[in-house]
Amino acid sequence: MKVGIIGCGLIGSEIASFLDNNKNFELIGLTDIDKNKSFELIKNLKNSKPKLMGINEIIKKSDLIVESAAKNAVRGILSNENLDKKNKKLLIMSTSGIISSLRLLKEIKNCEILLPSGAIVGLDGIKSVSEKIESLTLTTTKPVQGLEDAPYIIKNKINIKNIKNKKVIFEGTLIDAINEFPQNINVAATLFLASKSNNLRLKIIADPKTRFNTHEIQAEGDFGVIKTTAINFPSKNPKTSYLAVLSAIQTIRNIESNIKIGN
């Protein structure tokens, strides 16, 4: 299977490293808005010889396209004329970019869209009860450095380095949060897509005393109550949980497996 990666940051690099050691996949192309990242990644690969390509060429030539760039890249990928072909697959990491492109997503009939569970757990259960959810909350707690430079922090002039104890810095809806925390909101977007719930409420907490990213989900309805908690080590990028990296790699592993676990 020929693979192209759009976005050569931490997640794209980890996926490339996995593919580099897997004979069932051929990494043929890479692209990033920062060409130096692409060149550095190519140099570090041992077995693969991917070429530096444009997005259009990657989509055209790849059987599996991996998006690990940013939410702003998703619309262009979904609307690309070469995407909606039989036997193509698109793995999207920046699920927050889908929310403003749901119409484009629904128009895709042939390309298989893969959305890893990312930094949360329990999505199988959430999907199972998606039509019966009456209330749904996601509480995300992060180290303060994982929230630095978020538009919400800058706009409201929050001196996040001065926070001494755990503090709620945001409460609201998914739509409210997408533009305010663009690098922290993929978890919420994935939860929304799995639950199909317009009742999703978000809470973001800054905690200067933790080094973990914690995501707590609570769903209620006539099925009962589902509660999940994922306490994740940050990756080398404090805005990204290591579990999100592992989730992406497992989603790719599932492609080559004839045994599917979960719904």
* Structure-token pair, residue 210: 């933790």
- Long-range CB pairs of 196-200 (<8 Å, 24+ gap) are 196/130, 196/131, 197/130, 197/133, 197/136, 199/133, 199/134, 199/135, 199/136, 200/136, 200/137, 200/138, 200/173, 200/174
pTM confidence score: 0.92
Does the domain made of 2-115 have the CATH classification 3.40.50.720?
Answer: yes
Tens-place pLDDT, residues 85-96: 999 999 999 999
Rounded CA-CA distance 180/111 in Å is 31
According to CATH, where is 3.30.360.10 located in the chain? Answer: 123-239
Second CATH level (architecture) for the domain 123-239: 2-Layer Sandwich (3.30)
pLDDT in tens, 214-230: 999 999 999 999 999 99
So which residues are the catalytic ones?
A: 215
- Mean pLDDT throughout 173-182? 89
> What is the tens place of the pLDDT at every residue in 45-76?
999 999 999 999 999 999 999 999 989 999 99
CATH 3.40.50.720 in the chain, residue ranges: 2-115
Could you give the CA distance from residue 131 to residue 97 in angstroms, rounded to a whole number?
23
